[in-house]
């Protein structure tokens, strides 16, 4: 009997899967309907597809896999009630997201003279991604703090409460999305907590868009903008301004254009997008599916022919797919030299090298330009997805793992 598998068309490497016992059907994850799913035995999705009773009721689906770390788009209770096996790709994109955060910090170093030296960096949510990020940050001159009420496994890093984490110079959000329990993460950065943030703070959200109340953030940043205009010294304005780097948004794939304009760096949910992460996610989900149905496991190793960036200059007029380039042997994380000037010079140099691996600013520029040109909400959502789909050649930094 042939197994019918319905899969999101943008899950990497599935198109090369050849098995006489498998009928593999590809679909658009955003427009997937109950009618599409009805006769499928297994469903493979990404975060853009909501999997619940409305989608699955009356279908033949016995297995659901998501090629993502997060599961807030999946009604896990419903799957359990129906006896539908579930798997995710938890941790597959951890190194890619950690790379993204370090590259965002590198953009700050180059653009504003920002330095991690003497700064306090709080990582909120210390799961797969938070742990990977802390391992990179510990090689810098920053003081690292961890915030996670559910586990304290990073023995080298002191743990603090969320309110203590809000006092840090840099705050990185990497939590799952929860709305219940003692520590809900939905709108954890609400209007009240935004007011607690110090001047000059850098907030990076590469976790869940709903962790920040986006409407409250627009109001907050507009208020900050008015205050900084009082002082005409640009360097002083920059020192006092609060910078938000956002990869995730409420209302995806149609983020608030006003918030996009106010963000220091804005990218369309691509922090975890790397060749390695996508292959790892595909492999984990398909491995679980094959084990569940007794199928032969295909080879999902990243092939030698996988796209690799050519060495480029930051000013190259390249397309979105060519953002950044693979690093050479000089690339590493930020230098931890104790000599102040030498450390500053090394930090600048290594930031430039790191940005050859991947440049969030170039994605930001393409995203803003495409979104600005969109004439309605529908075309804005299309440009959001198009940029995500086009990032096929980003590789992870081999010297950071």
Q: Write out the DSSP string of 85-105.
A: EEEE-TTTTHHHHHHHHHHHH
The number of domains in the chain is 3
119-123, 128-132, 235-239 — which is least confidently predicted?
Answer: 235-239
Return the pLDDT at 321.
40
Tell me, yes or no, whether 237 and 111 share the same domain: yes
* pLDDT over threshold 80, residue 231: no
Strand order through the sheet with 85-88: 22-27, 3-8, 42-45, 63-66, 85-88
DSSP state of 311: P
Q: Could you say which of 128, 220, 269, 284 is catalytic? A: 269
Inter-residue contact 202 to 169 (CB < 8 Å): yes
Total number of residues shown for the chain: 401
Tell me, yes or no, whether 287 and 250 share the same domain: no
6-15, 183-192, 326-335 — which is least confidently predicted?
Answer: 326-335
376 or 26: which carries more pLDDT confidence? 26
**Global pTM?**
0.87
Tell me which residue range forms the domain holding 335.
Answer: 320-390
Tell me, yes or no, whether 260 and 285 share the same domain: no
Tell me, yes or no, whether 57 and 98 share the same domain: no
Tens of pLDDT, residue by residue over 326-351, are: 333 334 455 555 566 666 788 899 89
* pLDDT over threshold 90, residue 95: yes
Task: Confirm or deny that 47 is annotated as ligand binding.
Answer: yes
**Residue 52 backbone phi and psi in degrees, to 5:** -155, -170
The answer to whether 208 is a known catalytic residue is yes
Task: Confirm or deny that 175 is annotated as ligand binding.
Answer: yes
Q: Could you say which of 128, 136, 208, 284 is catalytic? A: 208
Return the pLDDT at 304.
57
Tell me, yes or no, whether 257 and 340 share the same domain: no
Tell me, yes or no, whether 147 and 57 share the same domain: no
**CA–CA separation, 70 vs 96, rounded Å?**
15
Please choose, from the candidates 146, 401, 106, the residue with its C-alpha nearest in 3D space to the C-alpha of residue 274: 401
**Domain assignment of residue 42, yes or no:** yes
**Rg, Å, the chain Cα set:** 22
Tell me, yes or no, whether 133 and 243 share the same domain: yes
Return the pLDDT at 232.
44
Return the pLDDT at 334.
57
194-208, 253-267, 293-307, 324-338 — which is least confidently predicted?
Answer: 324-338
**Domain assignment of residue 397, yes or no:** no
- State whether residue 282 is helix, strand or coil: helix
* pLDDT over threshold 70, residue 210: yes
Please choose, from the candidates 73, 135, 88, 126, the residue with its C-alpha nearest in 3D space to the C-alpha of residue 269: 73
Taking residues 74-90, what's their average pLDDT?
97
Taking residues 245-258, what's their average pLDDT?
95
Tell me, yes or no, whether 158 and 69 share the same domain: no
Taking residues 151-180, what's their average pLDDT?
93
Mean model confidence pLDDT for the chain: 87
Task: Confirm or deny that 247 is annotated as ligand binding.
Answer: yes
- State whether residue 343 is helix, strand or coil: helix
Tell me, yes or no, whether 235 and 209 share the same domain: yes
**Domain assignment of residue 302, yes or no:** no
56-70, 159-173, 296-310, 353-367 — which is least confidently predicted?
Answer: 296-310
Tell me, yes or no, whether 7 and 128 share the same domain: no
Return the pLDDT at 328.
39
Tell me, yes or no, whether 70 and 56 share the same domain: yes
CATH number of the domain to which 199 belongs: 3.40.50.720
Return the pLDDT at 237.
53
Q: Could you say which of 143, 252, 258, 382 is catalytic? A: 252
Task: Identify the band that residue 227 occupies on the pLDDT scale cut at 50, 70 and 90.
Answer: low
Taking residues 353-376, what's their average pLDDT?
91
Inter-residue contact 104 to 94 (CB < 8 Å): no
Task: Identify the band that residue 27 occupies on the pLDDT scale cut at 50, 70 and 90.
Answer: very high
**CA–CA separation, 386 vs 197, rounded Å?**
34
**Domain assignment of residue 396, yes or no:** no
**Domain assignment of residue 346, yes or no:** yes
Please choose, from the candidates 221, 245, 222, 206, the residue with its C-alpha nearest in 3D space to the C-alpha of residue 114: 245
């Amino acid at each position: 009997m042939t197994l019918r598998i319905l899969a999101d068309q943008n899950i990497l490497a599935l198109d090369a899967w050849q098995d006489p016992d498998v009928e593999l059907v590809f679909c658009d994850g955003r427009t997937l309907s109950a009618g599409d799913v009805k006769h499928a035995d297994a469903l493979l999705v990404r975060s853009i597809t909501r999997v619940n009773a409305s989608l699955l009721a009356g279908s033949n689906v016995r297995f659901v896999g998501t090629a993502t770390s997060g599961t807030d788009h999946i009604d896990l209770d419903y799957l359990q009630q129906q006896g539908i096996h579930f798997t995710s790709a938890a941790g597959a994109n951890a190194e890619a997201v950690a790379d993204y955060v370090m590259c965002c910090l590198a953009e700050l170093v180059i653009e504003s003279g920002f330095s991690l030296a003497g700064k306090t960096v709080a990582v909120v949510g210390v799961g797969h991604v938070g742990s990977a990020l802390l391992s990179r940050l510990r090689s810098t001159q920053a003081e690292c703090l961890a915030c996670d009420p559910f586990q304290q496994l990073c023995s080298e890093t002191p743990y603090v409460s969320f309110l203590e984490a809000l006092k840090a110079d840099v705050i990185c959000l990497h939590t799952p999305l929860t709305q219940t329990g003692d520590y809900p993460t939905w709108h954890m950065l609400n209007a009240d907590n935004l007011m607690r943030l110090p001047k000059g703070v850098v907030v990076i959200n590469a976790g869940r868009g709903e962790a920040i109340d986006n409407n409250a953030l627009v109001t907050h940043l507009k208020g900050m903008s008015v205050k900084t205009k009082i002082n005409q010294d640009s360097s002083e304005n920059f020192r006092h301004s609060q910078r938000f780097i956002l990869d995730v948004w409420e209302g995806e794939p149609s983020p608030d254009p006003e918030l996009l304009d106010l963000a220091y760096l804005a990218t369309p949910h691509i922090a975890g997008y790397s060749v390695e992460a996508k292959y790892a996610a595909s492999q984990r989900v398909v491995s679980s599916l094959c084990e569940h149905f007794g199928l032969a496991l295909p080879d999902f190793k990243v092939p030698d022919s996988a796209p690799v960036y050519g060495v480029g200059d930051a000013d190259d007029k390249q397309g979105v797919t060519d953002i950044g380039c693979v690093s050479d042997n000089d690339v590493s994380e930020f230098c931890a030299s104790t000599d102040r000037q030498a450390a500053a010079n090394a930090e600048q140099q290594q930031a430039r090298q790191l940005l050859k691996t991947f440049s969030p600013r170039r994605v930001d520029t393409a995203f803003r330009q495409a979104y600005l040109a969109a004439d309605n909400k529908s075309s804005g959502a299309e440009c959001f997805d198009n940029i995500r789909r086009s990032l096929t050649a980003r590789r992870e930094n081999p010297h950071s793992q």
